[in-house]
Structure 1
């Protein structure tokens, strides 16, 4: 299969977890009584990053025959979502840093965008494009320019350890306003994000923000579904549904509907691709990224 989706990939061993204990009858009854699967969405209408994951979750549960619908809970940031999962206020969320997750949360070992989030384009203002485009090395980028980043993004400490000069933003929308105000030099945005953000007039009102031609970063980053501690049956339904979605092609139809245009825009094959050595290794994401690039080349060719 294109993804290499196998029993080994979607298995507890792939995340270093053991099989969760079976639900007790009381928990099973509580799960059955749950009116909907609660999944967080951003409160800011300009933030469309979770639309794909929400649709993929709904698709997986539908294919698995799960009866309850997905109910979207607004205004929950990444850090809060993990707390709410542990406290039972959410049923499913997404997280990008598997290693830093609480041990009792149940992970679904499936990079939801096939590592596309880890292919990063630089977004800046027109007056900074030339200097960034002329940057000769990753070391120069880290030393000579400041990167804007969300203060609650889970891989922020990793990028700081790698030597990036970072200015943090407290809100998603505010991050773009800070870039336009000159508070930092550039943003690093995933291929899965950047085109929609540049075309969004709430984030880019004067269409001044642009992608720096010819440059890209690459590291193993993607989101994974994470389920509340007592949600073993729900986790298994998501696993089963994702397996079916890969097998019947519905996963890739949804993926292409969201990201084929973004991949055409990115033209990754024409960019200098700087790998962030030291970011960490995630073989599951790295293999998915390699397969994704191969699939895209095949589709283009």
Structure 2
């Protein structure tokens, strides 16, 4: 009988086919295109061809870009640029060379060199972090009630990750490694105590990559204001304007929120967010573009649950 992880891998492989070139009948129909503009806009987005976790994220980005372009009313042709997993700094350089759309954890540096579409594509879930921990340490983590208690433990992060500075600013110790596999090794070897991951990726990573002695910690969430944006080459103003117009319409009519919940809602519920303690962190260096004054752009637990939200512990 195939293992649970093998079955899950098959499900993911079947669900990560590129669905982005097809119309999404569950969402609102597109606006009528401007009849004056007859030449379709060439819209290319990156699709990770190697990593099944990032493949699913690429598929979501494709669905989102397709939705936004339909909402914009601009005629377009959508295509895919296959890419491998690369550091975001290198990805930022490649966007200019190949002129495509990609999604990245925003920073002020990226926004200076590229054109950001300043809407959190995961509604801020980039800044909601659950942990991988050693199974033997689950009881220790269950006793953590405050940020000060978490500061006694060491977090594992990737080299040059955008949120390293956030964790360190809030007094959390960080040790970095080159990639996810190395961080799992660091965790197993007790070089780090926990490995924070985004809520939209941790479940798949657990099923596909986590060693047998590693578990998803069930009682704590780190939360800080940050976002993943779509980025395009700075000179591609027409595409940026179309995506921005599409975002405004998709947020206004609820189709953006519906897409996010359709793609991620089941996975978020499996993490039992309503039963976790939320430790809020400060992000003193977030870009000015972060739309903190627009609550409709940010994830709220009420999107998943009707009951009261969990206890929040501010820094």
How far apart are 1:36 and its partner, in Å?
A: 5.0
2:200 is equivalent to residue 192 of structure 1:
yes
SS in 2 for 1:148: strand
Give the ranges of 4+ consecutive aligned residues of structure 1 lying more than 4 Å apart after TM superposition: 32-36, 278-283, 288-291, 298-301
Matches of 2:251 and 2:188, distance apart in 1: 40
Matches of 1:273 and 1:112, distance apart in 2: 21
How far apart are 1:151 and its partner, in Å?
A: 0.8
Aligned residue pairs total: 265
Structure 2: runs of 5+ lacking an equivalent = 1-38, 310-315
TM-score, normalised via structure 2 length: 0.73
Structure 1: runs of 5+ lacking an equivalent = 1-31
TM-score, normalised via structure 1 length: 0.76
Among candidates 266, 270, 279, match of residue 271 of structure 2 = 266
Matches of 1:70 and 1:119, distance apart in 2: 31
SS in 2 for 1:111: coil
User: What is the CA deviation profile of residues 127-161 of structure 1, one whole-angstrom value per residue up to 9, with x for unaligned ones?
Assistant: 1111122124212212x211111113122233233
SS in 1 for 2:191: coil
Match of 1:153 in 2: 161
Match of 2:247 in 1: 242
Of residues 106-115 and 258-267 in structure 1, the stretch that sits farther from structure 2 once superposed is 258-267
SS in 2 for 1:284: coil
Matches of 1:102 and 1:245, distance apart in 2: 23
How far apart are 1:233 and its partner, in Å?
A: 0.4
Among candidates 60, 65, 85, match of residue 57 of structure 1 = 65
**2:138–2:217: 8 Å Cα contact kept in structure 1?**
yes
**2:125–2:200: 8 Å Cα contact kept in structure 1?**
yes
**1:66–1:237: 8 Å Cα contact kept in structure 2?**
no
Match of 1:220 in 2: 225
Note the aligned Cα RMSD (angstroms). Answer: 3.0
**1:123–1:210: 8 Å Cα contact kept in structure 2?**
yes
